Structure 1
Amino acid sequence: MLVDEFEELARVAPETVWLEFINGKLEVKPAQDGNRAEIVMWLVRLFLKKRPELSLYPYRGLKAEARREGRVRADAVLAPRRHIVGHGEWSDPEGMLMAVEVTTRDPEVDRSLRGLKRDGYAAADLPVYLLIDRDDCTVTVHCEPEDGKYRSLATRPYGAVIDIPAPVGITLETEEFKDYAS
């Protein structure tokens, strides 16, 4: 399938279905459950308070991979305020600061978050990838993308404090994530 064909398919898909195009393959992103949605909204409120010059855009479509041939729908993307004005459904990651994904409880999808999507974000030079893993109750910060891989990562259990380095530059206190582990 070509990227243009995927975009047409995604455009006409029902609103209840989120399609992604990862490594040349069509993927279906599961509908979000309440706990996943609550984690994303907790992050939105946090960034409004700590970094008001930035916006955390929930469920934003991104062009991913080295040649921008992938299409993913991140649980959230952090960028300067008004950064996506004029963008269509799929934003180029240039100027974006961080992608956020929250595991879904679907083993196949979660494998993608830990591998293919992570590598797609790194190949697109997204400075930070934040993975909130409800399966093992951890938060992982991937940073320093180079040659399609993140060179640095830090993982902390729910309840711990974890720093998200520049260009994001905040500290997450993850105690509340314990409430959304299920």
Structure 2
Amino acid sequence: MPAISSERPNWYLLQCKPRQDERAHLNLLQQNYVVFHPQILTERVIRGKRQRLRESLFPGYLFIQISRHDNWAPLRSTRGVSRIVEFNHGPAIVAEHIIEHLRSRCFEASTTKPDEALKPGENLQIVSGPLAPLEGVFLGLHGTDRVMILLQFLNREQPVCLPLSVIERQQASFQTYN
């Protein structure tokens, strides 16, 4: 574990109280701390609609950048913060390259556009798994993270239940007719 540098701030790991990540993040920002809360976009079906939600990559934890000479006392009483994570009787330092890697990965994940809700009869394509190149028609939702599609397979139409993550809308292709 690297020694704590007195000249420049290091990144440390904070544990938050249960389900209070966002509260801790906001309270630390109000106290002018540099905080990183890695989040990703996940797809869920809520009230019958496919939606993308922002969720914590590490639920219950935040990263904070602070130097050894800064005032650490307010961290203990910040609402939402439980404790500073320690290893070997000292605060756990997180390397700068790890934070940069997490930042770049979280940014890449947030640049994708949210999808509209799927409609019955919409053409879909399976993009991964054993049925990957096949195309089908959306029938409906099956639970919160699965869909029913109708495939033309083995000379007949087969309803198939698949995870929401393996399907995409079929790209429109323009055909010219003579």
Shorter chain as normaliser: what TM range?
under 0.3
Whichever of the two has the greater Rg, that structure is 2
Higher helix share: 1
- Structure with bigger RCO (C-alpha 8 Å, 6+ apart): 2
Structure 2 length as normaliser, TM-score?
0.21
